[in-house]
Amino acid sequence: MDRKYKDVIDRFNEKLTKIKADKRISLKRTNEGIHLCNNTLYLLKGIVEKHGFEDITAEIHFFKKVKAEPLGFLVYFSEVRSCELLMPKVGINNQLSFLKKKIRRINKFFNRNWDFVHYMEQGLTYLDNQYFTRENQVFPLYALPEACYLDPKFFTSKDMLWARIKGMNHYIAYVKNLIQEIQPQNKCSHQEHRYTKPLQWTSSKAALTELIYALYVTRAINDGKEDIKTIASCFEVVFGVKLENLYKTYFEIKARKGSRTRFLEELVQRFNEKMDRDDEFLDL
């Protein structure tokens, strides 16, 4: 990377890492992200105005590689902010429906621009002079948050589209994570409505952890397609118990001296004893 931009981009990446630390980004964090991207683009614009470019290769590199990072994340944080503001606050099905509409909108965007997406993802370069130099500018016909960077000295015909593609790729991952976070709650809510009388887990949490792991490793639930967290979440809802640290409890079970699967062994013993008693009753 050109040394003129390195310090600006290094500071950008350092602050970006902190903002993106959590899977679910708060509105405060999205605002911080938007401010960071705007400030970085402002600094880059100042460098370009002051120093220009040595040659076409340097110009292409800037608009294709350097500017695209903060501009792409400006798109990303703007989309995340809009999503978090507009997503229904109540009703898991409403939230899932909202997020699936977002996915459809993203797919339409990529379908509309499939030729350029293909060009960029294949690492092609034969049209770079047309796409990433200011000599061949074509003013875009849409108004988006990044449109404030349409200074003739600071945009090319495709640099904003490329940034939007990069931003939407990050946004896809964010929406998928939200769906995965919400879906286990949805599965468990169906179970919750089946019970007219609440059930309570009255044994220890370690005992329940044994049972959950046993069901998980034997692939007894949904042919083993569910992860341990999903299974645990459903048990929490059904039995009104909170398993604060499932993995820690599991390692404590592993570290037991002597018999490690005490609850499971007790289940087997009690069940066998019941069947033996039933057999004795039938023999009378």
pLDDT given for residue 284 in this prediction = 47
pTM for this one?
0.63
pLDDT digits (tens, 9 = 90+) for 192-221: 455 556 788 999 999 999 999 999 999 999
Q: What is the mean pLDDT of residues 17-34?
A: 88
Give the distance from CA 114 to its chain's centroid.
23
Cβ(48)–Cβ(2) below 8 Å: no
pLDDT digits (tens, 9 = 90+) for 228-242: 888 888 888 888 888
pLDDT digits (tens, 9 = 90+) for 82-130: 999 998 887 888 888 899 899 999 999 999 999 999 999 899 999 999 9
Q: 92 CB contacts (<8 Å, ≥6 apart)?
A: 182, 185, 186, 189
pLDDT digits (tens, 9 = 90+) for 259-269: 899 999 999 99
pLDDT digits (tens, 9 = 90+) for 126-163: 999 999 998 876 655 554 555 544 566 788 888 989 99
User: What HEC string does the chain produce?
Assistant: CCHHHHHHHHHHHHHHHHHCCCCCCCHHHHHHHHHHHHHHHHHHHHHHHHHCCCCHHHHHHHHHHHCHHHHHHHHHHHHHHHHHHHCCCCCHHHHHHHHHHHHHHHHHHHHHCHHHHHHHHCCCCCCHHHHCCHHHCCCCCCCCHHHHHCCCCCCCCCHHHHHHHHHHHHHHHHHHHHHHHHHHHHHHHHHHCCCCCCCCCCCCHHHHHHHHHHHHHCCCCHHHCCCHHHHHHHHHHHHCCCCCCHHHHHHHHHCCCCCCCHHHHHHHHHHHHHHHHHHHHHHC
Mean pLDDT of the chain: 85
